[in-house]
Amino acid sequence: MEKNKRKILVLSNRKSEKQLYWQVVFEWEDEFENYFNSKIINKHSSELNGFLDRIKRKIDTIIIKIRDKYYNNQKDTFFLQFNMSPFQQTWRSNKKYIVPCVLDFVIDKEDLPLFYANYAQNPFVLISDLDAVFYLKSVNCPLKIYHFPLSISDKYILKYEESRKKYDCIVVGRQNNTKMIKWLEEYAKQNSDFVYVYRQDNSDFSYYTNKGEFIGKIKNREQYMNLLSLGKVGLYTTACAGKGFVTPRFLEYLVSGCHVITSFTENKDTDFFQLSSMCENTLNYEHFKEQMDKFRTQSIDVMKYQNYLKKHYTSQRAALLTQIVFNHFNNIEE
């Protein structure tokens, strides 16, 4: 077997995870499938109840045992699996032929031993947050870990059309930074012609304008990305559960041709994504107002955006994974 001929398959949760935020992961999986010319294997459904579903569980268990027996002896094949949190991993995935990638690495120090145990059999673990990678190394994590940053699917190509920019500002998702929202509301009070779009609190992805117009319900990625393309400016913050890692939304704003007004705490992850070179860290309302005044009438720097985005497409991460696999297993075999 040649050392660089290992096959990479994708073990997907798409059969069981129906939440909208998982769809970005499934886009990555599709890109990996295309890049590696492999295939996506669907995991068992986690929503199994009743007599028939108990039978399905038993069948799942038998299938997993057969899969274990086969792939445990296949040194040239492994599965990539995305976990939304460190605790999504179960015994079904704690296998030496599965490489998990943890996306939102938020964990208390006292829970680290459980994390180590849940991933002990995997050959190595991919972590999307660079700050978390450095943290794990600082506490002498016994697992072999590699940085594997988030990305944007190659199918999204920046096609800036100023005529499509219908709204001054787009605010998507839950807003953890109440300071930014207060600045937005204050700006709208001072500028009667200013129109922004927001998601109604606790809604089923229903979006409205500050003028009371109902935009619609976002049900899939196509509708979501189309909404972003209609905005001149996007508000973005890295704050999430007390952590400051960069999320795909930053890349989504850029590929949709939005100026981005941000508020973030500088760390290794924000440095990796070069947030300070792509946008300014907004510290007060006057700074917010200055940027909004400018961005409402100014086009984006298309060349700057394109040069930035080409470093963060999913195909670039697939190439990175190829290199990680090559280096990791070659070091073991040598």
Q: Which domains does the chain have, with CATH numbers?
A: 7-153+313-333 (3.40.50), 162-309 (3.40.50.2000)
Task: Give start and end residues of each alpha helix (H) in 96-243.
Answer: 112-118, 130-138, 178-190, 221-229
Q: Which pTM was predicted?
A: 0.88
What is the C-alpha separation between 192 and 212, in angstroms, rounded?
13
Q: How do residues 302-327 score in pLDDT, each as one tens digit?
A: 999 999 999 999 999 999 999 999 88
Q: Is the pLDDT of residue 177 over 70?
A: no
232 or 75, greater pLDDT: 232
Q: Which residues contact 232 (CB under 8 A, 6 or more apart)?
A: 165, 167, 168, 169, 258, 259, 295, 296
- Distance between the two ends of the chain, CA-based, in angstroms? 14
pLDDT at 293: 98
Query: Within 10 A of 115 (CB to CB), how many other CB atoms are there?
Result: 20
pLDDT at 72: 57
Q: What number is the average pLDDT over the span 90-106?
A: 88
CB 251 within 8 A of CB 312: yes
What share of the chain in percent tops pLDDT 70? 84
Q: Is 292 helix (H, G, I), strand (E, B) or coil?
A: helix
pLDDT interval class at 63 (50, 70, 90): low
Can you spell out the DSSP letters for 13-53? -TTT--SGGGHHHHHHHHHHHHHHT--EEEPPPS---HHHH
Q: Which residues contact 190 (CB under 8 A, 6 or more apart)?
A: 289
The chain-wide mean pLDDT, for the chain, equals 87
Q: Is 101 helix (H, G, I), strand (E, B) or coil?
A: strand
